[in-house]
């Protein structure tokens, strides 16, 4: 009867249920876990490893981007709602220390990479020395590194970055950046 209910759960729900049960078992029976670690018989260890392998294969089949509430899931849905090609690079974005500013500048410069030349959504290099990137991921990493240099120099907000990044007084650039930054903050990520 319980097996039938378990099969009706979605794959992420099954993975979370299995992980929860495993956590409870380790909490209730810590001596069993200690015995496993200390070198219990091979047959017991093998049975435990099989269960972990089954759990791991379930977790592998459930990408983080499909688990509601995760940063990856929230950002993926946000970018999908904006029809941004960056939706395929959510993980790369989130690995960057300045991912929020990378995203906000992409909005101010290219409507979140909808209008781009050479996978450069950030206007890096300007019109005369425009940089080209083989992939969006490489552009994301370079944009984050450049933003880090700006931050190291004390330019930490769109308002303070604008003159150097844009080259002229562009209040709409500041507004576009601040819009995305406030939307990200409202999403809680």
CATH of the domain at 104: 1.10.530
Q: Which helix (H) or strand (E) holds 19?
A: helix 11-28
Same domain flag for 41 and 81: no
Which pLDDT belongs to residue 60? 47
Under DSSP, the state recorded for 120 is B
Same domain flag for 89 and 174: yes
Same domain flag for 48 and 113: no
Quick one: the chain helix, strand, coil %, rounded to 5?
70, 0, 30
Question: Of 12, 37, 62, which residue is a domain's last?
Answer: 62
Each residue of 58-89: pLDDT tens digit?
Answer: 444 455 556 778 899 999 999 999 999 999 99
Class of residue 33 by CB neighbours under 10 A (exposed 0-12, middle 13-18, buried 19+) = middle
Average pLDDT of the residues of the chain: 81
Same domain flag for 154 and 80: yes
Of 14 and 80, which is predicted with more confidence? 80
Question: Of 39, 62, 85, which residue is a domain's last?
Answer: 62
Which pLDDT belongs to residue 20? 63
Same domain flag for 55 and 136: no
Number of compact structural domains in the chain: 2
Domain that holds residue 51: 2-62
Of 151 and 36, which is predicted with more confidence? 151
Write down how long the chain is: 189
Each residue of 134-152: pLDDT tens digit?
Answer: 999 999 999 999 999 999 9
Each residue of 164-180: pLDDT tens digit?
Answer: 999 999 999 999 999 99
């Amino acid at each position: 009867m319980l097996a039938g209910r378990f099969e009706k759960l979605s794959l992420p729900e099954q993975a979370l249920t299995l992980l929860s049960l495993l956590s409870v078992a380790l909490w209730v029976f810590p001596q069993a876990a200690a015995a496993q670690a200390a070198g219990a018989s091979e047959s017991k260890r093998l049975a435990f490893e099989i269960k972990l392998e089954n759990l791991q294969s379930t977790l592998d089949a459930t990408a983080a981007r499909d688990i509601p509430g995760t940063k990856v899931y929230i950002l993926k849905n946000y970018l999908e709602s904006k029809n941004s090609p960056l939706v395929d690079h959510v993980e790369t974005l989130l690995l960057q220390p300045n991912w929020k500013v990378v995203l906000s500048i992409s909005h101010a410069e290219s409507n979140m990479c909808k209008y781009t030349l050479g996978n450069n959504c950030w206007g890096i290099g300007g019109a005369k020395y425009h940089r080209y990137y083989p992939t969006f991921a490489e552009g994301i990493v370079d944009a984050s590194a450049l933003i880090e240099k700006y931050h190291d120099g004390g330019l930490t907000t769109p308002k303070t970055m604008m003159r150097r990044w844009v080259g002229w007084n562009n209040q709409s650039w500041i507004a576009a950046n601040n819009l995305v930054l406030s939307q990200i903050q409202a999403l809680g990520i």
